[in-house]
Amino acid sequence: MNKIKNQKKCWDELAEEKEFPTPFKMEEFKKHTSQGTKILDVGCGYGRILNELHNNSFKNLTGVDFSEKMIKRGSELYPYLKLVKNNGKKLPFPDDEFDAVILVGVLTSNFQTEEQKNLIREITRVLTTRGVLYISDFLLNNDQRNLERYQKYEDEYGIYGVFELPEGLTLRHHTIKHISKLTEEYEELIFEKTVFKTMNGNISNSFYYMGRKK
């Protein structure tokens, strides 16, 4: 599956040009955290959400991403943020290190179910007991464009909802049932269906979720 190996290369190539418009539910996040909360943004990209948190008086902030060029861009834009490049499937942090973890638009990029499960296991490992997990990502759509590409790539990847972009990325839209299964070790605080604009300017069914580690 060379296409899987090429995902990092694609993100590096797109690092300087892509903007990620997915909104962050700041007021909802504040309900379950405090300014002293130790926060990790997994798949932080160029650090835009961490910068929003910084501007809202959160100071104990760390971001991690596997794209070296995303980290470089973020470090130049926001030199006051702690951004770390990740190598491999394990997060480079000890157990119980963070009070809250943010995961925005990352499941869609880690499209294989086992990769997603491993990611959530790693997040659970680095979260403190009763730590908070914030996720927002994309749900399945019913418009003709999406239906056609879901069907086109289902045979190749074995997952309905996976598709390829012209840029070379392979992405995934999800069912609510699948997200519930991924987060079954968390006490759900909120789950809300919504609509987000994608990085390519399209509109997609989406959700945001907050849960507390049991």
Tens-place pLDDT, residues 8-42: 665 555 545 656 678 999 999 999 999 999 999 99
pLDDT, position 11: 54
pLDDT, position 178: 98
pLDDT, position 9: 65
Question: How do strand 39-42 and strand 170-172 relate by DSSP bridges?
Answer: unpaired
Report the C-alpha gap between 162 and 140 in whole angstroms: 10
Report the C-alpha gap between 48 and 3 in whole angstroms: 27
Total residue count of the chain as it appears in this document: 214
Residue 74 vs residues 60, 65, 141, 171: alpha-carbon distances, Å: 17, 10, 31, 23
- Give the CATH fold of the 34-138+176-213 domain: Rossmann fold (3.40.50)
Domain boundary assignment for the chain: 34-138+176-213
Calculate the average pLDDT of the chain.
91
Q: What is the pLDDT of residues 49-86, one digit of tens each?
A: 999 999 999 999 999 998 888 899 999 999 999 999 99
pLDDT, position 167: 79
Question: How do strand 203-213 and strand 186-197 relate by DSSP bridges?
Answer: antiparallel
Residue 99, exposed/middle/buried by CB under 10 A (0-12, 13-18, 19+)? buried
Of 55 and 167, the one with more pLDDT: 55
Given a cut of 90, whether residue 146 has pLDDT beyond it is yes
Residue-wise DSSP of 105-124: S-TTTS-SHHHHHHHHHHHH
Q: What is the pLDDT of residues 106-141, one digit of tens each?
A: 999 899 999 999 999 999 999 999 999 999 999 999
pLDDT, position 199: 75
Report the C-alpha gap between 9 and 13 in whole angstroms: 6
First to last CA, the chain: 36
Given a cut of 60, whether residue 1 has pLDDT beyond it is no
Which structure tokens are listed for 39? 């926060």
Coarse DSSP helix, strand, coil percentages of the chain, rounded to the nearest 5 percent: 35, 30, 35
Q: What percent of the chain lies above the pLDDT cut of 90?
A: 79
Q: What are phi and psi of 15, to 5 degrees?
A: -60, -35
pLDDT, position 2: 43
Indicate yes or no: pTM above 0.85.
yes
pLDDT, position 15: 46
Given a cut of 60, whether residue 5 has pLDDT beyond it is no
Angle between helices 7-14 and 68-77 (to 10 degrees): 30
Rg (C-alpha) for the chain, rounded Å, is 16
